[in-house]
Each structure stands twice: as structure tokens, then as C-alpha cells.
Chain A
């Protein structure tokens, strides 16, 4: 299922692949480093959680954002698994895609390309930030597109339409949740726990922040391994440490 637009964008960008080793490696780093994907958004949302001005309003929006982001992750992932299978650009024989230097994402190719769950998550978080601050939100939207999504197209992991649809799912989820009473239902008990047992609340906060920032990687790996436990050594699973420095050919 290859649209003309998608093919055109991907092949145009692919012209630059392997032209400059340094450039490819830098983009590969953006691809792999957790600190640069969801973490910046989570860091900013944490900041907003603790601001004094308009605390109640801001905390409500942060909750909406997190809930919306989680919904977007689930929706895009289910859509990827259950929807029509779309090969990733790098796997699509019609495109003759040349993978840029420095990438090691072999196992992700087993899931459908459409829609992009990375785009879903990052756009959801970016939209949430936009609701609280225009300039910061604009900056994070730009980062989501240029720093997170574009590298994925460059490395042939997604088509532009995967990104667009994924992003829409993310943005719409957050807006819908924000407009619904859901954040208030969650907000009440959350505020109670935070006031009563702040240690437990913020311990949980830290766990949640870490898991979202790592796309729940450890949990997904554990889940896959447990499900495949009977399959033996041949089972494919998510790469636990993509872009590992040691033992990788680039070193």
C-alpha cells in the first residue's frame, strides 16, 4: 500500500543516505537515544506539574496529556497489529531503500509501519504542552517533527503518512481527553493521594515518567519473552538496547 506521495518523499530523502557518514550517525543517535525522544516532553510536563501559577489548571492539563498519550500509544499499537499490514519503507522492495549508516534496528521491522506509535506519543505530549504554553508548545511540536519523526522517515522506519496519522491520533486523543471529564475524575483521587502520601505519589510519578520516557521498553521486552518462553532461542523480540555502543560494528 504505497502512495505516490509517500514514495516520493522517502526516495527523495533517501538520496542523502550514506553521503555523509557523520550526518547519518548523528541522525541515528536521535533515533536511538531515549533522552531525546520522549524525555524532553516528560521533563517539561514535570516542570508544569510543579509550577505555582495556575497549579490546578496546569495539573489538570498534565493529567489530560498523559492519559491522552497513553490512549494514543494503545490505539496506534493495536492499529499496527490488527490493521492492514504495511511494510516499512526499508523493507519495501519497490523502493529499493538504502539504509543510512549506523542503524541497528533489525527486529522492529516485524510490525506494521502504519500508523507510527512514536509519532502518536510525541505529538500527544507536544499538544499537551501547547495547551499550556504557546511558545514552548510550538518548540516541542517542532522538535517532535524534526528531531523525532523525521529521523524515522530518513531511516526508512516510517512513511510520512504513518507519521501524520499517528500524530493526529496523538493530538486528537489529548484534545478529546482534555475536553472530557476524565481528568477531573482522575484528578480528585490523585490530589488526595498527593496530599496524604506524597512519598508514594511521587515514587509512582517517577516510575510513570521513566516508563513513558522509555516507551515501556523493559515491560514490553519482559512481556514478549514471557509469551515466547516456550518458543526457544529463535523468538524475535524488541531490541532492548538499540544503538548499543559496545560490541556494535561502529566501534
Chain B
């Protein structure tokens, strides 16, 4: 029954593909633009970290959010790798998925479609903001859903249930972290480091913030390339270079 709902929703959303070149290109921009899909959350959390008034409370919640986000990433990624493999909509033979304008189907997509780790991370951060400020949180949750999650369905990278599951994991992870005493344990050494070595502390903080804002793209790429390097040397085949003429947005590492 879940499959029927998934299939119907994807078919509905897919009916808009190839109708408007400009619209399709706009969505493809969103798929890749970290400035729009990830950065705003990190920026808001940064703002709350430095806000005057209620600083201890705020900082605790930011820590909960980071802990929850990290846990959500681990869970969704592990589930993708170790759980039952689910082909992505654009690759699924049971679906007749039409690629939006200007995009090509990816040759080989790693990892299972379920659950979406992009949704996990994005919605975890959005929920953390919700804990800090109801109104802003609702805006960010909607922002995350519309600008980060929906485009992935539109490009056949995920089913709605993948997104839903990822979202649930993200929200639960942050909620649990916030209710636990983990943030309090963390707050002590963090506060100490920040007071004692502020230069080093914020240098590291910026590095982490950047990685969050790119969904750890470079680290994941490096991991893939290293894994591939071993495979390549084992098979010792001649590599052919075929450069795609138009960058296809759906070839970004799906999550």
C-alpha cells in the first residue's frame, strides 16, 4: 500500500517534468546549490550561538541539534548501505520516470534510496531551529522540505517515503538528543575550549560548519574515490573518459 502511495505521488510530481525548461532548470539549480539547501540552516544556528541573552540555553540547543544531526546522518547512511536495497525512482524499472529537461539519468547511483540522508540532515537542523524559535523553526522546516527535499523527488532521486523516513529520523534524533543529558556533558568541555582557546575553537567550528553546509561533500567524495582506487587497481582496466557536455544535476551524490 505504501508503494502505491509512493508510486502515485511520484507519478503526479513527474507529470510536470519536461513541461517547462525554465522550471526544470530552476529545480536543478536547487539540487546542487548548497547556498540555498543547506547553508541557511547553518547560518541561523550560527546566529543563535552568538546571540546575546539566553546564551547558555541557546548554545545547549545548538549542541543538541549538532548531536542529533550527526546521529541522523549515521543512521540514515548505515540504513542505506546495510538495509534492503531500494532503487531510486529514476532507476526503477517498475516506474516510467521521465527525467526533467537538461538532466540525464545517472549511470550508476550508489546506495539505496531509503531513507534519504539529505532529508535526515536538513530536517534535523530545521527541527533544531524549531526548538530555538517556533516561528523561525516552522519557516525552516517548510524551507527544508520545499527547497531541499521536493527537488530530490522531482529528479527521481528519492521516493516520498524515503524523504518522510529521513525527516522522521532527523527530527527524532534531535529531539532525543535535546531531551538527554548529552548536550550538558558536551557543554562543559566545549565552553572550556571556547574560553581558553577561542582562535582554535572557532577555526574548527568554521570547518565543521562548512562541512555541514555542503553535506560533507568533499569528505564523501574522497571516501568514494579511495574506495574506487582499490577497486580500480584490482581490475586493472583501461579507463575511458567521457565528459558530460551539460552538467547533470542528478549526478550529484544522492542522499
Instruction: Tell me whether B221 and A33 are in contact (CB under 8 A).
Output: yes
| Contact assessment for B247 and A203 in the assembled complex, using a CB-CB cutoff below 8 Å | no
Docked CA distance A222–B224 (Å): 28
Shortest Cβ distance from A242 into B: residue: B247
Tell me, yes or no, whether B3 is within 8 Å of chain A by CB.
no
B29 in contact with A221 (CB, 8 Å): yes
Interface of A is mostly: helix
Number of interface residues of B (CB under 8 A): 71
State which of B164-172, B181-189, B225-233 sits at the interface with chain A: B225-233
Closest to B209 in A: A206
Task: Indicate if A79 sits at the interface (CB-CB under 8 A).
Answer: no
Q: Which residue of chain B lies nearest to A39 when distances are taken between CB atoms in the complex?
A: B210
B224 touches A245 (CB 8 A): yes
**Stretch with Cβ within 8 A of A (4 or more), from B6-14, B68-76, B106-114, B145-153:** B106-114
Q: Assess whether B200 is in contact with A21, with CB atoms less than 8 Å apart.
A: no
Kindly state the separation between the CA atoms of A43 and B199 in the bound complex, as whole angstroms: 10
The binding surface of chain B is classed by DSSP as helix
Output the residue of B29, B50, B52, B254 with the most chain A CB within 10 A. B50
Provide the residues of chain A in CB contact with B21, threshold 8 Å.
232-233
A230's nearest neighbour on chain B, judged by CB, is B22
A-B pairs with beta carbons under 8 A, tally? 174
With A33-B218, A35-B210, A246-B254 as contacts: A241 and B247 at CB distance below 8 Å: yes
Tell yes or no: A92 within 8 A of B by CB.
no
Residues 1-43 of A at the B interface (beta carbon under 8 Å): 21-22, 25, 29, 32-36, 39, 42-43
A184 at the interface (CB under 8 A from B): no
* Distance between Cα atoms of A188 and B14 in the complex (Å): 53
In the complex, the chain A residue whose C-beta lies closest to that of B106 is A247
Do A199 and B51 contact each other (CB < 8 Å), given the known contacts A43-B203, A250-B225, A250-B228?
yes
Given contacts A104-B243, A202-B49, A213-B210, contact A245 B108 (CB under 8 A): no
| Contact of A251 with B228 at beta-carbon distance under 8 Å, contacts A106-B245, A210-B213, A240-B33 already known | yes
CA distance in complex: A240, B103 (Å): 13
- Counting CB contacts under 8 A, is B220 at the interface? yes
Chain B binder among A49-57, A81-89, A113-121, A147-155? A49-57
For the complex, count residues of A whose C-beta is within 8 A of B: 60
Residue of B nearest to A216 (CB): B35
- Per a CB cutoff under 8 Å, which of B198, B200, B201, B221 touches A29? B221
Stretch at the interface among B38-46, B79-87, B119-127: B38-46
Which among A42, A202, A250 is the interface contact of B50 at CB below 8 angstroms? A202
> How far does the Cβ of B107 sit from chain A's closest Cβ, in whole Å?
5
Complex CA–CA separation, A191 to B107 (angstroms): 51
A206 to B46, CA, bound (A): 7
Complex Cα distance, B196 from A51, in Å, reads: 10
| B36 on interface, CB distance cutoff 8 Å | yes
Q: Which residue of B lies closest to A37 (CB)?
A: B218
Q: Closest B-chain residue to A25, C-beta based?
A: B225
Verify if B192 is at the interface (C-beta below 8 Å from A). Answer: no
Chain B neighbourhood of A210, CB < 8 A: 34-35, 39, 42, 209-210, 213
Name the contact of A34 in the complex, choosing from B22, B52, B214 (C-beta under 8 A).
Answer: B214
Q: Kindly state whether residue B2 has any CB partner on chain A within 8 Å.
A: no
Chain B residues with Cβ under 8 A from A50's Cβ?
A: 198-199, 201-203
Taken together as a complex, chains A and B put the C-alpha atoms of A161 and B219 apart, in Å, by 32
Residue of A nearest to B107 (CB): A247
A48 within 8 A of B: yes
Chain A residues with Cβ under 8 A from B109's Cβ? 246-247
What 0/1 readout, one digit per residue, does chain B (37-66) give for beta carbons within 8 Å of chain A? 001001110111111100000000000000
Q: How far is the CA of A207 from the CA of B217 in the complex (A)?
A: 18
Shortest distance in angstroms between B248's beta carbon and chain A's nearest beta carbon?
6
Contact of B108 among A42, A106, A247 (CB under 8 A): A247
B221→A47 contact, CB < 8 A = no
Binding site for B on A (CB under 8 A): 21-22, 25, 29, 32-36, 39, 42-44, 46-52, 99, 101, 104, 106-107, 198-203, 205-207, 209-211, 213-214, 218-219, 221-222, 225, 229, 232-233, 237, 239-241, 243-251
B residues bordering A, Cβ < 8 Å? 21-22, 25, 29, 32-36, 39, 42-44, 46-52, 101-102, 104, 106-110, 198-207, 209-211, 213-214, 217-222, 224-225, 228-229, 232-233, 239-254
4 additional A-B pairs beyond A203-B43, A218-B36, beta carbons within 8 Å, are: A51-B199, A221-B33, A241-B32, A245-B220
